[in-house]
Chains A and B, each alone.
Chain A
Amino acid sequence: MNETVDVKELNDRIQKESSFVDLIKMEMGKVIVGQKHLVDSLLIGLLSNGHILLEGVPGLAKTLAINTLANTIDAKFSRIQFTPDLLPADLIGTMIYSQKKEEFIVKKGPVFTNFVLADEINRSPAKVQSALLEAMQERQVTIGDQTYQLEEPFLVLATQNPIEQEGTYPLPEAQVDRFMLKVIVDYPKIEEEKLIVRQNVAKQFPKANAILKPQNIIDARNVVKDVYIDEKIEKYILDIVFATRFPENYGLDKFSAMINYGGSPRASINLAMASKAYAFIKRRGYVIPEDVRAICHDVLRHRIGLSYEAEAENITTEDIITEILNTIEVP
């Protein structure tokens, strides 16, 4: 850790490097009305190299948001609708025989892109989910004997529908853990929806302009890594994650029987990374407790396993995280 961090110099640098954040938000704001939390979460995932699981009912601009983000960055975008009959080859690609060349050639799948929208990921069987999740983790795909690196930036946004759970294949806990954030997309406010209606019935639908290159995002990621995170904040993050594992050690005995398993070390890593990215989009060179609290629900809500007692008591992971944040002393 750099012991001679100059906050002024660091802040000046971040101010300069993060100027594109406002531009992206402005361009996305032309198309996406409201959904500020969704836009912020997309940026956090983009800047901290983490994938995002979106949960929300259909029609909340999930696809439009990622499409617009891809447009602003001049990046490639693929949308894959997960269905029960989807095969791994439909996702990552396959070898096909070329009669012209008289040999097998590689036909790359839609995963070879910068932004992937895996729509309704829980509608496909485990082998297809695994194929995508392997690509997410390793950032490479093997077709036949050949391994192909995926392009950077590579961001997967998977969606899940909270309703209609029949005939779905819920993601196993180990695979859900690979998503940095699980974002709950909610309905827009009434004023926002009025604007959405107006925008959609107008003659021309607004379009976002490309203002960045994928390389700018890769550069920004390196700057995000430089955002200063103090030891006190690190302890705060660890206290939060450990409270999900051993709530009784933090005066939360009532949750002991309600939590089957708490956040993994990946939760701590992602909480720290996402806090840095959040500080960056707030154009700050250091992390403050507000940053941790702002993204804590998104990072932890899919990493806490609830027991039957919790379900019987109607206790959700949201309740547990909120209670933990209201109990752990802020540095």
Chain B
Amino acid sequence: MKVNDYTIFLKNTFILIGLLFLSGIKIYAQNITVEAILEKDNMLIGDQLVLNIKLLKPVNEIVEFPVFTEKLTDTIEIISQSKTDTTDLNNGSVLIQKNLLITAFDSGFYKIPPIAFLHESENSTDTLTTKPLWLKVNTVQLDTTNVIKDIKAPYHAPISFYEILPWALGFIGLAIIVFVIIYIIRKIKRKEPIFRRLKPLEPAHIIALRDLEKLKNDKLWQSEKIKDYYTRLTDILRVYLWNRYAIRTLERTSDEILQSLKISDFNDEKSFTLLKDIFKTSDLVKFAKFKPLQDENEKCLNGAYEFVDRTKLIIIEENEAGEEPVNMNNNIQIKN
């Protein structure tokens, strides 16, 4: 054989050996096969490849499948691992396999070392290994013929609805706060109550007059239930004042109620005196066991009727000429 032929023979032999390595030759031991197969033997830098690891063994043999961490070698990283898949081949053997998604960030020709499986038999423990594999990691080829271009700015992803949502809610919230502040300022300037009281279905005086009529018919003081009589009488008036003037009366004492009326521009002196007298007598009856004369009981009831009548809210339609009626007691409301 000539030297040239010999060189060609050696070269072919090495290529054959290399191909054998790359194809991941199966390793056999007592009908146990371990195998590692690369999806491709080369890839672009940063690209990802699947490394398939197989173990074929009899059902009753104990072989420990290797556990992988984050890296296969210093340069080859494992991005993810599939679950270990076990398939019963129904011939007394099982096939266990696992896929590793690997990558490398340095160009070069790398060796994937043999992967070891521990086989435990009755008397000893053997190590089965796959054949080493070779992986070529190519770098990006530079096109030097083209002109140098600027670095591209980062791409902007389209704005999603969920990104806009907090801003939209914040804007709506801010708008509500501004609206409420303007509303409160306007109400304060106009000297109107900030929160509008829900009007009862019936006017306050209708409710009060009906309750007073019922109190009259119940004839409480005639049957010596004087305290109950005055308690109900004052309760009717307190509820009436709450419905009519939005003054908190149930949690206030007689003096505090009268004081609140004064503050709220209640300027009907006669009505005020009527109410004051009723409260005074009622307090004496309720808290001092005072027993008024029959005349006083009737006087208080009539006083309550008169108070409600003098202070009831009258709603009238505005006439065509637009003339406003004279409102002496602040109890006329003009409806347009």
Name A's B-contacting residues (CB within 8 A).
Answer: 3, 5-7, 10-11, 228, 230, 232-233, 285-290, 293, 325-331
* Known interface pairs A230-B287, A230-B288, A286-B287; A293-B253 also in contact (CB < 8 Å): yes
Residues on A with C-beta less than 8 A from B283 are: 288
Residues on A with C-beta less than 8 A from B176 are: none
Contact partner of A329 among B251, B256, B284, B289, CB < 8 A?
B251
A230 touches B251 (CB 8 A): no
A325 touches B251 (CB 8 A): yes
Instruction: Give Cα A3–Cα B291 distance, bound, in whole angstroms.
Output: 12
**What's the nearest-Cβ distance from chain A to residue B25, in Å?**
74
A-B contact pairs, 20 of them (CB 8 A): A3-B289, A5-B289, A6-B289, A228-B287, A230-B286, A230-B288, A233-B287, A287-B287, A288-B253, A288-B254, A290-B254, A290-B256, A293-B253, A327-B251, A328-B251, A330-B251, A330-B252, A330-B253, A331-B286, A331-B287
* Known interface pairs A288-B283, A329-B250, A330-B250; A7-B290 also in contact (CB < 8 Å): yes
Main secondary structure of the interface of B (DSSP, over half): helix
**14 extra interchain contacts, Cβ-Cβ under 8 A, other than A330-B251, A331-B286?**
A3-B289, A7-B288, A228-B287, A228-B288, A228-B289, A230-B286, A286-B289, A288-B254, A288-B283, A288-B287, A289-B253, A290-B255, A327-B251, A330-B252
Instruction: Give Cα A6–Cα B289 distance, bound, in whole angstroms.
Output: 7
Instruction: Give Cα A145–Cα B142 distance, bound, in whole angstroms.
Output: 111
B253 touches A286 (CB 8 A): no
Q: Size band of the B side of the interface?
A: 10 to 19
**What's the nearest-Cβ distance from chain A to residue B38, in Å?**
64
A232 touches B287 (CB 8 A): yes
Interface 0/1 of B284-307, CB less than 8 Å to A: 101111100000000000000000
Most chain A CB within a 10 A radius of its CB, from B256, B283, B288: B288
B residues 217-275 touching A (CB-CB < 8 Å): 231, 248, 250-256
The residue of chain B having its C-beta at the shortest distance from the C-beta of A327 within the complex is: B251
* Known interface pairs A10-B288, A230-B287, A286-B287; A326-B253 also in contact (CB < 8 Å): no
Residues on A with C-beta less than 8 A from B290 are: 7
Instruction: Give Cα A99–Cα B251 distance, bound, in whole angstroms.
Output: 69
Residues on A with C-beta less than 8 A from B287 are: 228, 230, 232-233, 286-289, 331
Instruction: Give Cα A290–Cα B251 distance, bound, in whole angstroms.
Output: 11
**What's the nearest-Cβ distance from chain A to residue B247, in Å?**
13
Residues on A with C-beta less than 8 A from B253 are: 288-290, 293, 330
The residue of chain B having its C-beta at the shortest distance from the C-beta of A294 within the complex is: B253
A230 touches B250 (CB 8 A): no
B289 touches A230 (CB 8 A): yes
A5 touches B288 (CB 8 A): yes
Residues on A with C-beta less than 8 A from B231 are: 331
Instruction: Give Cα A282–Cα B193 distance, bound, in whole angstroms.
Output: 36
Instruction: Give Cα A287–Cα B288 distance, bound, in whole angstroms.
Output: 8
Residues on B with C-beta less than 8 A from A228 are: 287-289
**What's the nearest-Cβ distance from chain A to residue B187, in Å?**
22
Residues on B with C-beta less than 8 A from A288 are: 253-254, 283, 287
Instruction: Give Cα A327–Cα B248 distance, bound, in whole angstroms.
Output: 10
**What's the nearest-Cβ distance from chain A to residue B302, in Å?**
23
Residues on B with C-beta less than 8 A from A3 are: 289
Instruction: Give Cα A290–Cα B280 distance, bound, in whole angstroms.
Output: 13
Most chain B CB within a 10 A radius of its CB, from A230, A232, A326, A330: A330
Instruction: Give Cα A293–Cα B254 distance, bound, in whole angstroms.
Output: 12
Instruction: Give Cα A190–Cα B252 distance, bound, in whole angstroms.
Output: 31
Most chain A CB within a 10 A radius of its CB, from B231, B251, B253, B256: B253
Residues on A with C-beta less than 8 A from B252 are: 330
A7 touches B251 (CB 8 A): no
Residues on B with C-beta less than 8 A from A285 are: 288
The residue of chain B having its C-beta at the shortest distance from the C-beta of A326 within the complex is: B251
Residues on B with C-beta less than 8 A from A330 are: 250-253
Most chain A CB within a 10 A radius of its CB, from B283, B284, B286, B289: B289
Residues on A with C-beta less than 8 A from B288 are: 5, 7, 10-11, 228, 230, 285-286
Most chain A CB within a 10 A radius of its CB, from B253, B254, B287: B287
